């Protein structure tokens, strides 16, 4: 009897300890400035340049503006020259830092020679692997995607290959200098098997594992890797859905998520999205697999996109 009592007491104590640790973890995330403080010169102490893919709009543009505000020169890369030039002028006028623009399409092959040439020799403090593409605006089952063959190729090139190639170009210099940050924008939906977003979510899972692996390999070389996994951010990709308690502007999201740079190799970038992530991970798999869930999820996204 005494032994059973002891076992129950021990199990109870473990559960209480686990809950306390979890609560402490949540409380720490509520006050990132206190628990993960960054010195004023943190970014400039890592180098002189930030390189951002998919930088002319949305989250990438917000990263470019915010990192320039922290004193870094920026290399901004995306497809539309006019948008890049406009942003470059705006950043130069507002912050006085230097801006290099590179026009390229990350869905294409043979683009990395030009990127490498433009970046060669720069003291890169931070690479933001931001560019990402959905195969369809409204999510659907894989075989319902129009021009599936072409979309598969584009999504994998843009979301996966770009990050691998950009790390290949920039990481050696960081290792040589013994400092640097590589941020990779994933997505909250990478945290669960995500039907109707299958291809997109799977590319984001690749990015998370890739970044985690590199963190383990290059931690001792002074390189910090982190994936940032937002849910709703009001951008072109999400049809500029209305901002609310769960949906941020790109600027709010980036400013907030940078406060979590020292919070570990994976972050949701905000406490609100972290809680959403925990709730979503608690959904039983049989619910995620059900037809009713797919249908309701699709309707929910349509409504959000229309809002």
Ligand X SMILES: NC(=O)c1ccc[n+]([C@@H]2O[C@H](COP(=O)([O-])OP(=O)(O)OC[C@H]3O[C@@H](n4cnc5c(N)ncnc54)[C@H](OP(=O)(O)O)[C@@H]3O)[C@@H](O)[C@H]2O)c1
Contact residues for ligand X (CB under 6 A)? 54-60, 78-80, 83, 104-107, 130-133, 158, 185, 187, 230, 232-233, 235-238, 250
SS3 177: helix
* Shortest CB 26 distance to ligand X, Å: 22
Nearer to ligand X, 15 or 236 (CB): 236
* Shortest CB 158 distance to ligand X, Å: 5
Taking Cα atoms as reference points, which of 146, 86, 78 lies closest to residue 108? 78
SS3 129: strand
* Shortest CB 185 distance to ligand X, Å: 4
Which residue has 């894989």 as its token pair?
A: 142
Q: Residues 75-111, buried b or exposed e (16+ Cβ, 10 A)?
A: bbbbeeeebbeebbeebeeebebebbbbbbebbeeeb
| Residue of 200, 218, 260, 268 marked catalytic | 200
Nearer to ligand X, 28 or 160 (CB): 160
Query: Distance (Å, rounded) from C-alpha 93 to C-alpha 24?
Result: 43
Nearer to ligand X, 168 or 219 (CB): 168
**How are beta strands 223-228 and 99-103 bridged, if at all?**
unpaired
Greatest alpha-carbon pair distance for the chain in Å reads 78
Query: Distance (Å, rounded) from C-alpha 91 to C-alpha 88?
Result: 5
- Please indicate whether residue 200 is annotated as part of the active site: yes
* Shortest CB 59 distance to ligand X, Å: 4
Nearer to ligand X, 199 or 263 (CB): 199
* Shortest CB 205 distance to ligand X, Å: 12
E-strand ranges in 244-288 read: 248-249, 266-267
Provide the sign of the torsion angle of the four alpha carbons 259, 100, 180, 182, taken in this order: positive
Nearer to ligand X, 49 or 197 (CB): 197
Nearer to ligand X, 142 or 236 (CB): 236
Q: Residues 1-31, buried b or exposed e (16+ Cβ, 10 A)?
A: eeeeeeeeeeeeeeeeeeeeeeeeeeeebee
* Shortest CB 67 distance to ligand X, Å: 15
Query: Distance (Å, rounded) from C-alpha 82 to C-alpha 55?
Result: 12
Q: Which residues are catalytic?
A: 200
């Amino acid at each position: 009897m005494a032994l059973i009592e002891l076992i129950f007491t021990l199990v109870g104590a473990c559960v209480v300890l686990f809950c306390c640790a979890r609560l402490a973890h949540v409380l720490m995330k509520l006050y990132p400035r206190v628990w993960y403080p960054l010195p004023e010169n943190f970014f400039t102490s890592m180098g002189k340049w930030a390189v951002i893919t998919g930088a002319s709009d949305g989250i990438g543009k917000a990263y470019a503006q915010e990192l320039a505000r922290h004193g870094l020169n920026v290399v901004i890369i995306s497809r539309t020259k006019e948008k890049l030039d406009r942003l470059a002028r705006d950043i130069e006028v507002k912050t006085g830092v230097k801006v290099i623009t590179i026009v390229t399409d990350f869905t294409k092959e043979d683009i990395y020679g030009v990127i490498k040439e433009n970046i060669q020799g720069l003291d890169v403090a931070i690479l933001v692997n931001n560019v990402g593409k959905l195969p369809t605006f409204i999510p659907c089952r894989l075989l319902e995607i129009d021009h599936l063959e072409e979309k598969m190729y584009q999504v994998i090139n843009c979301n996966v290959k770009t990050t691998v190639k950009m790390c290949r170009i920039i990481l050696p210099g960081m290792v040589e200098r013994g400092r640097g940050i590589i941020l990779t924008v994933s997505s909250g939906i990478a945290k669960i098997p995500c039907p109707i977003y299958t291809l997109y979510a799977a590319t984001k899972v690749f990015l998370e594992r890739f970044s985690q692996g590199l963190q383990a390999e290059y931690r001792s070389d002074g390189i910090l890797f982190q994936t940032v996994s937002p849910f709703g951010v009001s951008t072109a990709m999400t049809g500029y859905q209305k901002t609310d308690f769960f949906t941020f502007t790109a600027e709010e999201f980036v400013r907030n998520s940078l406060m979590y740079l020292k919070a570990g190799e994976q972050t949701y970038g905000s406490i609100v999205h972290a809680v959403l992530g925990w709730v979503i991970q608690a959904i039983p798999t049989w619910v995620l697999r059900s037809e009713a869930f797919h249908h309701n999820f699709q309707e929910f996204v349509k409504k959000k996109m229309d809002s």
